[in-house]
């Protein structure tokens, strides 16, 4: 799921899906964007936007403990 499609969700549904409130997500995204601008080497560009990369990371962290216990 892409971040653009999640922007229309109510805050409760966003938090339930992602694990953090939308305001905190935007703060984290701002920090990531600032860090990205401060990089000297850009490397290979990612096909995902920073928002989608953050969403993917948060989703992984949210499910990791469950997967760890299942393993």
Alpha carbon distance 68, 39 (integer Å): 33
pTM exceeding the 0.85 threshold for the entire prediction: no
**Residue 9, token pair as written in the block:** 């969700």
Tokens, residue 3? 């971040």
C-alpha 13/C-alpha 22 separation (Å) is 10
CA–CA separation, 4 vs 2, rounded Å? 5
For 4-55, write each residue's pLDDT tens digit. 999 899 999 999 989 999 999 999 999 999 998 888 876 788 899 999 999 9
């Amino acid at each position: 799921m892409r971040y653009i499609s999640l922007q229309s969700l109510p805050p409760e549904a966003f938090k339930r899906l992602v694990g953090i409130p939308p305001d905190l997500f935007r703060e984290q995204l701002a920090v990531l964007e600032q860090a990205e601008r401060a990089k000297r080497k850009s490397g290979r560009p990612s096909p995902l936007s920073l928002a989608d990369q953050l969403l993917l990371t948060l989703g992984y962290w949210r499910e990791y403990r469950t997967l760890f216990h299942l393993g």
